[in-house]
Structure 1
C-alpha cells in the first residue's frame, strides 16, 4: 500500500477521474509492480479487501483467476463500482475462470445496470468466439427495445454486443446495422483521427472491411 501511495501522480488522477476512476497510479507503473510480484492469490485477496482502487487493480493483476468461486466473483463485481476495476475484473479474471457462462446469464438479467453491463460484456465474448447456443435474434430484440434508454455503461456494453453481432455474423448484419442507424446511439461520439467510431453501423463497416 505504501508503494502504491508513492506512485500517486496528480496528473494521472485528473485523467482517471474524468473516466469515473478514483486513483492516481499510472497503469504502466502498476503493471510493472504486478510483474515483479508475479501471481500471489493470498496477497490479491488482501489487496482487494482494502477497498482502494489502485490496490484492487493490482489485485486483479496478481490473482489466480481460477481460484475464485462463482459466489466470490459475484460479490466482487457488485463491489466493483469504478469503471476500470469493473472492466479488469470481467476481462482479466471472470473471462479466464470456469464461471463466466453461469455468471453471464445471472448478471445480464440483473436489475442493476452496472452488473448487467458485465453480463453483456461476457455476451460480447460469446458472440465473437463461441456463438453456438446464443440466441442472436433474442439479443437483437432486447437491444432494439432497451439500448436507447439504458444508462451509460449498460448502453455501451449493449452497443458493443450489437456491433459484434454485425461484425461476426453476416446473416444478422443488415438488421444490426439497421438497429444502429435507427437508434443513433453513440452516433456523435467524439472519435480521434485513425480510431474506429463506436457508432455501431460505422464500427461494423470498418471491421468487416478489414476482414476482406
Structure 2
C-alpha cells in the first residue's frame, strides 16, 4: 500500500524497507555514500514518496530521528522550512555522516533562510561534514535565492578563500562547488569569482590550487560565457 499524507513516520519507514535493494546499496558505496544505515532506495524513488506524503514537519523530525539514510533524506524533502528552528537545524547538522544528506539539508536550511547565521558557524566547525554543509548552503543560495542581491553572495567569497586550503575531499569539493555557483550566477558575480579562482589556482596549497583550476575551467568555458553574454 502506498503511503499517504496522513501516514506516520513508522508507516513510511516500513514502506521504504519494502522498496529496499541490496544492489542499490552496493552502487551507493561506490559514490562515497555512507551505507551503514541505508535501505537502498534512489533519490528518484524518495522524491516520489515525498510527493505522496507531502510536507509534515513533526513527522519529518521523527523520520530524521530514525537514523536511516532514506528516512533522513525524506525528512529533508518533507520538513517545513517555515517551521524549522535553529536548534533543529544544528541538531541535524551535528548528526550528518554522509555528503548526500548534507546536500539535501542544505536546500532545506537555505529555504528556511538560516544561511546568514549558520554558514559562518558551520564553516568554523572543524568536522568535515558540518563544514561541507556551510559551502553546500552557499552553492544552494547562489542558485535558489534569485531575489537576493548579488552582493549577498559575493560576501561569501572571503569565506571560500579562507577555507580553500582544507584538503578533506568532501570539504574541498563543496568549496569548489560554492565558488563555481557564485561565478555562474550573474555577470556581476562572474568577475569577482573568476578573480578568486585565478588567485587560488596559483596557490602553493594543493587543495586551493585544485579548486582554483577547476573553477577557472568552468567559469571560462564557452557555455558559461554564452549564458552570461561574455565576449569569447
The alignment partner of 1:64 has SS state of: coil
Residue 34 of structure 2 corresponds to 21
- 2:60 aligned residue: 44
Q: Once superposed, what is the RMSD of the aligned Cα atoms?
A: 2.5
Question: Is the contact between residue 136 and residue 174 of structure 2 (CA under 8 Å) also seen in structure 1?
Answer: yes
- Give the CA deviation at 1:82: 1.6
Unaligned ranges ≥5, structure 1: 188-197
* 2:171 paired residue number: 154
Match among 205, 210, 217 for residue 185 of structure 1: 210
Unaligned regions of 5+ residues in structure 2, if any? 1-12, 203-207
- Whole-angstrom distance in 1 between the partners of 2:193 and 2:114: 30
Distance of 1:28 and 1:137 partners within structure 2: 33
Q: Distance in 1 between matches of 2:29 and 2:136?
A: 23
**Cα deviation 1:98-152 (Å, max 9, x = unaligned):** 322211121122222321221122233455653335536634642xxx4244311
1:23-172 map, 5 Å: 23=38, 24-91=40-107, 93-126=108-141, 129=146, 130=148, 131-133=150-152, 134-135=154-155, 138-139=158-159, 141-142=161-162, 146-167=163-184, 168=186, 169-172=189-192
Runs of 4 or more, structure 1, over 6 Å off, are none
- Residue in 2 that maps onto 1:194: none
> Is the Cα contact below 8 Å between 2:123 and 2:135 reproduced in 1?
yes
How far residue 70 of structure 1 moved from its aligned partner, in angstroms, is 0.3
**Shift in alpha-carbon separation, 1:210–1:56, aligned structure 2, 3 A:** same
CA contact (8 A) 2:194 2:219 kept: no
Q: Which secondary structure state, in structure 2, belongs to the residue aligned with residue 199 of structure 1? A: helix
